[in-house]
Structure 1
């Protein structure tokens, strides 16, 4: 991530089985022009940290098949440009935490459409 987040013109990032660590960090001022980020089939990732000031242009974020990710990142509350958050094929527990009334909803309440699909399991 340290290398990718410094690419000055990166606008779309789709990670599909391409990150093998348990912790992912987006640093302050990282991904300055990123507009769309898709995290797909990252089964090992358990925690994703977004520092304040990271991804200042992000408009779309999608989680799909990141089954060990236990919670939505706190730092998303600082990404005020986020217009769409899609959660697909994630555990029901993750969905319930993020959905209206969930303990993590405050982190994404500024995102107009929260889109959930195929959330099942625990």
Structure 2
């Protein structure tokens, strides 16, 4: 029998009344897959510090009530979860201390290859720890960095933007 450490999603997806789930460094898998019919009442999901996570898949029919998804400190995750467009009730998608590469793929101007996955979500934010708190940025603000000239190969990062708010 698999342990929860092997794949926490398999063992939790059928809990009938689970509405809020935070998973912190729960497994060392490189992929998490949310299956159709799983997590029927889940409204809030947080994934934090999955050191080897490279891919998250959401099948159609998985987490039909999910309203908020937070992903943080998953340094190898370079793409938005595939199938997040299937989460039709999702109101807020938040990325905390995630790779800049992932955030740039979410740009709404046609250049972000993953924007189609998140276009239906009213609030998409990215946050980075600065000066003792989280600086929160709307995804659209990252385009400002790309449009400004960068001196001699210096990569512009989120600290060059003014945050929407600080938490």
Residue 44 (structure 2) pairs with residue 26 (structure 1): no
**Offset at 1:38?**
0.5
Question: What residue number does 1:90 align with?
Answer: 98
SS of equivalent to 2:66: coil
Q: Which runs of 5+ in 1 are unaligned?
A: none
Equivalent residue in structure 2 for 1:67, among 57, 67, 75:
75
SS of equivalent to 1:93: helix
Q: After superposition, what is the alpha-carbon deviation per residue over 1:29-64, rounded to whole angstroms, capped at 9, x for unaligned?
A: 110000000111111111111100000000000111
Q: Distance in 2 between matches of 1:5 and 1:24?
A: 12
Higher-Rg structure is 2
Q: After superposition, what is the alpha-carbon deviation per residue over 1:61-120, rounded to whole angstroms, capped at 9, x for unaligned?
A: 011101111211221101110000111100110101123231101101100011111186
Q: Which runs of 5+ in 2 are unaligned?
A: 1-8, 130-156, 159-167
For the structure 1 residues 14 and 24, does the alpha-carbon distance in structure 2 shift closer, same or farther, using more than 3 Å as the test? same
Using structure 2 for the length normalisation, give the TM-score: 0.69
Q: Going by fraction, where is helix more abundant, 1 or 2?
A: 2
Question: What residue number does 2:117 align with?
Answer: 107
The answer to which structure, 1 or 2, has the higher relative contact order (CA under 8 A, 6+ apart) is 1
Which ranges of 4 or more aligned residues in structure 1 deviate by more than 3 Å? none
SS of equivalent to 1:3: helix
